[in-house]
């Protein structure tokens, strides 16, 4: 009966890790997946996470089912972390928050809500974007198209193209925006550009849909990284926001995140939340408790919260240091006169190198540097010790 099932293609990001594991060369470097590593290139569990887990053990907490919408204490702190605890939308009860299966699962919930309540509405996603966005909307049967975002000529934002494509979309479209640290380009709009993006979205009655996977990782400040979202909420717009704690708390495999819908009234928020629960129930019934408790403990406790911010600054700081070292190495070694400063301008975990598919293949085949074929490298997986080697690989690949 299963004879007719065809082979699925490997995932463009997770497939890279599989290929990396199979490589026997000592020089190999995995810059594919966006996961933080220490200078020794080892995975890192935050101290605040260990402290929160110890607290949970000491308290002898149980493993009873959570409600469909998740842990109440988590839902409260996650909305506050995103919007600011003093945000009027929270005090007016206009935010419908449900715990989701990290960023991906939260996006998927919202996609199902769009499919059900906005039939035919289109989602506009940036070109390029995180590869899984297309899969998520395809599987939820939500039509999508792309808006211009990255300009290879300037290695920067194609702001005019972006604005004109958002303007050109059918009224009432959903505009998917990366809250900060755009994946894969590392290029974010400036505060002034965000204002103009909000202007056209408002003019066209579109609905902004934020994907916030790196709060605290772009600027090092949780508040600053949420300023794009807060700007739209302050204008009184209805906004969707998916959140993830995979990167900023290093909780990748705990699958902890949230879907927030900022509504026009508390009455609407109650109804929207009821529908999100209805979507979640037959999909996975209720979300896992462990990560939710960790987040609630860390964000809800002033001491742990401050320690978290310090650890996040440490992680973001290490990435900035390797970014600088990579730039220095490339500038010193490359005799072609190429301007490498785009590496310093990009923010977050990634650098979008501009290497094309053939050049990215050369990086892997000849140099054992594993990366996605769109030319993205994860600086979170790079150490200072490996910068010179990586610079050699990039220069060789560029000029071949």
Active site residues per annotation = 130, 211, 247
Nearer Cβ to ligand PLP, position 30 or 102?
Answer: 102
Selection from ligand TYF, ligand PLP, none that 213 binds (CB < 5 to 8 A by kind) is ligand PLP
- SS3 (DSSP) at 373: coil
Q: What is the CA radius of gyration of the chain?
A: 21
Least distance in Å: CB of 214 to ligand PLP?
7
Applying the rule CB under 6 A, the residues between 330 and 359 that interact with ligand TYF are none
CB 121 within 8 A of CB 174: yes
CA-CA distance, 108 to 51, in Å (whole number)?
Answer: 31
Tokens of residue 105, six digits: 């699962």
Question: In the chain, count of helices (H) and strands (E)?
Answer: 16, 13
Phi, psi values for residue 101, rounded to 5°: -80, 75
Selection from ligand TYF, ligand PLP, none that 211 binds (CB < 5 to 8 A by kind) is ligand PLP
Identified binder of ligand TYF from the candidate list 130, 137, 352, 367, rule CB under 6 A = 130
Least distance in Å: CB of 34 to ligand PLP?
5
Selection from ligand PLP, ligand TYF, none that 158 binds (CB < 5 to 8 A by kind) is none
Applying the rule CB under 6 A, the residues between 81 and 120 that interact with ligand TYF are 104
Residues 6+ positions from 236 with CB-CB distance below 8 Å: 264
Phi, psi values for residue 350, rounded to 5°: -115, 160
For ligand TYF, how many residues bind (rule: CB under 6 A)?
A: 8
Applying the rule CB under 6 A, the residues between 33 and 52 that interact with ligand TYF are 33-34
Selection from ligand PLP, ligand TYF, none that 142 binds (CB < 5 to 8 A by kind) is none
Nearer Cβ to ligand PLP, position 212 or 272?
Answer: 212
Applying the rule CB under 6 A, the residues between 211 and 270 that interact with ligand TYF are none
Burial of 196 (0-12, 13-18, 19+ CB in 10 A): middle
Nearer Cβ to ligand PLP, position 246 or 362?
Answer: 246
Identified binder of ligand TYF from the candidate list 183, 248, 346, 359, rule CB under 6 A = 183
| Strands 95-101 and 376-378, sheet pairing | unpaired
Least distance in Å: CB of 338 to ligand TYF?
26
Burial of 73 (0-12, 13-18, 19+ CB in 10 A): middle
Tokens of residue 190, six digits: 């400036």
Please identify the residue of the shown chain whose CB is closest to the bound ligand TYF.
34
- Chain residues binding ligand PLP by CB under 6 A are 34, 102-104, 130, 178, 183, 211, 213, 244, 246, 252, 257
Least distance in Å: CB of 161 to ligand TYF?
23
Least distance in Å: CB of 73 to ligand TYF?
25
First to last CA, the chain: 48
Nearer Cβ to ligand TYF, position 136 or 262?
Answer: 136
CA atoms within 13 A on the CB side of 156: 10
Least distance in Å: CB of 283 to ligand TYF?
16
Residues 6+ positions from 43 with CB-CB distance below 8 Å: 35, 36, 37, 250
Torsion angle of C-alpha atoms 181, 182, 185, 188, degrees rounded to 10: -70
Residues that bind ligand TYF (CB under 6 A): 13-14, 33-34, 104, 130, 132, 183
């Amino acid at each position: 009966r299963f004879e007719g099932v065809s082979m699925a293609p490997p995932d463009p990001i997770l497939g890279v890790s599989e290929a990396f594991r199979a490589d026997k060369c000592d020089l190999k470097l995995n810059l594919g997946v966006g996961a933080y590593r220490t200078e020794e290139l080892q995975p890192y569990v935050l101290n605040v996470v260990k402290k929160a887990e110890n607290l949970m053990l000491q308290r002898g907490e149980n493993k009873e089912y959570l409600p469909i919408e998740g842990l109440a204490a988590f839902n409260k702190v996650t909305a506050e972390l995103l919007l600011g605890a003093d945000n009027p939308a929270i005090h007016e009860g206009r935010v419908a928050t449900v715990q989701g299966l990290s960023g991906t699962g939260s996006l998927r919930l919202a996609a199902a809500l769009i499919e059900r309540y906005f039939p035919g509405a289109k989602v506009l996603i940036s070109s390029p974007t995180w590869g899984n966005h297309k899969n998520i909307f395809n599987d939820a049967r939500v039509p999508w198209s792309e808006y211009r975002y990255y300009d290879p000529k300037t290695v920067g934002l194609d702001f005019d193209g972006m604005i004109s494509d958002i303007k050109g979309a059918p009224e009432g479209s959903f505009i998917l925006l990366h809250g900060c640290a755009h994946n894969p380009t590392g290029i974010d709009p400036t505060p002034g550009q965000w204002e103009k993006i909000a202007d056209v979205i408002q003019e066209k009655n579109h609905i902004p849909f934020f994907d916030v996977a790196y709060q605290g990782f772009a600027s090092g400040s949780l508040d600053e990284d949420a300023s794009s979202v807060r700007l739209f909420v302050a204008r009184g717009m209805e906004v969707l926001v998916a959140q993830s704690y995979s990167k900023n708390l290093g909780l990748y495999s705990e699958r902890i995140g949230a879907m927030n819908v900022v509504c026009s009234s508390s009455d609407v928020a109650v109804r929207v939340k009821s529908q999100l629960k209805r979507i979640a129930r037959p999909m996975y019934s209720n979300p896992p408790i462990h990560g939710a408790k960790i987040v609630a403990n860390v964000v809800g406790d002033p001491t742990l919260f401050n320690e978290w911010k310090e650890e996040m600054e440490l992680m973001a700081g290490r990435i900035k240091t390797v970014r600088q070292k990579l730039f220095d190495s490339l500038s010193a070694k490359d005799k072609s006169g190429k301007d490498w400063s785009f590496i310093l301008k990009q923010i977050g975990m990634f650098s979008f190198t501009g290497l094309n598919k053939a050049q990215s293949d050369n990086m892997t085949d000849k140099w054992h540097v594993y990366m996605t074929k769109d030319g993205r490298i994860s600086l979170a997986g790079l150490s200072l010790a490996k910068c010179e080697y990586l610079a050699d690989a990039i220069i060789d690949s560029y000029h071949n």
